[in-house]
Amino acid sequence: MNVVSYRPRPEELSYTFGGRPAVGRITPGTVLEIYTEDCFGGRVRGPEDLPSQVCEFPYLNPVTGPFHVEGAEPGDTIALHFVSIEPARDWAVSTTFPHFGALTTTHTTAMLHPPLDEVVWMYDVDVEKGVVRYHARRGDFSVEMPLDPMHGTVGVAPAAFESRMTITPDAHGGNMDTPELRAGVTLYLGVNVEGGLFSVGDGHCRQGHGEVCGTAVEAAMNTVVAVELVKGVATPWPRLEDDDHLMATGSARPLEDAYRISQHDLVTWTASLTGLDTLDAYQLVSQGGEAPVGNVVDTNYTMVAKLPKAYLGRPEAYESAHARLRSLGERYLSSR
């Protein structure tokens, strides 16, 4: 088993997809162990650390990478199977941020209101017990919620010579902020440039649907990813697969366009996997599909379209990359 470990030094962190040389080269079939910093670069460590003061634009939402996948060319697909995602600290943090979030005016939903208060919430992270603990800032209310680690930001270098802030989700992946991107899931990303150049960041201990206040329970993570390359198979928008579901994503504004992209991709993917007529697939997805909301706060919004594989007779997608990577991940975990 080929295992590679990488822990970025602070100055090695990336703030874009595209526009940067690779920090390492990965052979398909490799298990990659990485450390990812939280979206604040680890600088918000207590209630007094207001992100607008301790963080400096554009040094936000750092990602670990990019990694060059040997042999990856435009038209191929990189498969990233998340073997494990483990909080690196016993605390995590969430905040409001001036003019960021779904229930506040923003840079583009521009209004004449002053910003909402900037507030920091510190969470206890208890991996043993499998919970995070929320504490109200005013009053002594406190409650535990299940730990459900995920990565908000995973992507490759975009097409068309673009370089995009890590905060933006689009066809190349990026800051999709979907809770579906948890351990056990394989993410498929279409390759736009030689080597693909994928990066991973923005770990969340858990996240509500839409990330309504603008940030999740943000945490540094120790993450293990099993990497494969599917040659000659293109992927128009990021897709996910777990043991029981196929998932398509869409990232755009307004939110209905994110929904349309994800549902359109799920419908046409379903048709191509099963041989169903497009309208028959449209009907089946209409009645059997779910639509978990990703984010409604970033520069593009993200929706996921999700269908049980059982409804389709468990078709093989991406030459069974998910099954193979899952098995590789299990071998890795049992050898650890």
Which residues, 253 to 292, sit near a copy of itself by CB under 8 A?
253-257, 259-261, 263-265, 267, 274-280, 282-292
Chain positions 189 to 208 lying near a copy of itself, rule: CB under 8 A, are 206-208
Strands 120-126 and 131-135: antiparallel
Chain positions 165 to 184 lying near a copy of itself, rule: CB under 8 A, are 165
Q: From 143, 142, 145, 141, select the one nearest 130 (Cα to Cα).
A: 145
Q: Does 104 bind a copy of itself (CB under 8 A)?
A: yes
What is the C-alpha end-to-end distance of the chain, expressed in Å? 12
> Closer CB to a copy of itself, residue 110 or residue 335?
110
Min dist. Cβ of residue 290 to a copy of itself (A): 5
Chain positions 120 to 159 lying near a copy of itself, rule: CB under 8 A, are 121, 132, 134, 136-139, 141, 143, 145, 159
Q: Does 162 bind a copy of itself (CB under 8 A)?
A: yes
Contact window for a copy of itself (CB under 8 A) among 28-36, 38-46, 112-120, 327-335? 112-120
Q: Does 89 bind a copy of itself (CB under 8 A)?
A: no
Min dist. Cβ of residue 30 to a copy of itself (A): 28
Residues near a copy of itself (CB under 8 A), total: 91
Report whether the peptide linkage leading into residue 254 is cis, meaning its omega lies within 30 degrees of zero: yes
Q: Does 252 bind a copy of itself (CB under 8 A)?
A: yes
Q: Does 21 bind a copy of itself (CB under 8 A)?
A: no
Angle, vertex CA 163, rays to CA 161 and CA 167, nearest 5 = 150
The pair of structure tokens assigned to 66 is: 């990019």
Task: Please state the φ and ψ torsions of residue 16, each to the nearest 5 degrees.
Answer: -140, 160
> Closer CB to a copy of itself, residue 96 or residue 223?
96
For residues 55 and 52, give the distance between their C-alpha atoms in angstroms, rounded to a whole number: 6
Q: From 85, 110, 250, select the one nearest 169 (Cα to Cα).
A: 250
> Closer CB to a copy of itself, residue 84 or residue 262?
262
> Closer CB to a copy of itself, residue 108 or residue 334?
108
Of 100, 250, 322, 328, the one binding a copy of itself by CB under 8 A: 250
> Closer CB to a copy of itself, residue 21 or residue 275?
275
Q: Does 293 bind a copy of itself (CB under 8 A)?
A: yes
Q: Does 222 bind a copy of itself (CB under 8 A)?
A: no
Annotate 97-126 with DSSP letters as a single string: BTTBSTTS--SSS--SPPPPPP-EEEEEEE
> Closer CB to a copy of itself, residue 81 or residue 99?
99
Q: Which residues contact 181 (CB under 8 A, 6 or more apart)?
A: 82, 150, 151, 152, 154, 187, 240
> Closer CB to a copy of itself, residue 155 or residue 329?
155
- Whether 79 contacts 127, CB under 8 Å: no
248: alpha, beta or left, given left = phi > 0 and alpha = psi -120 to 50?
beta
For residues 110 and 299, give the distance between their C-alpha atoms in angstroms, rounded to a whole number: 13
Report whether the peptide linkage leading into residue 62 is cis, meaning its omega lies within 30 degrees of zero: no
Q: Give the distance, in angstroms, between the CA of residue 203 and the centroid of all CA atoms in the same chain.
A: 8
Min dist. Cβ of residue 262 to a copy of itself (A): 9
Chain positions 44 to 83 lying near a copy of itself, rule: CB under 8 A, are 57-58
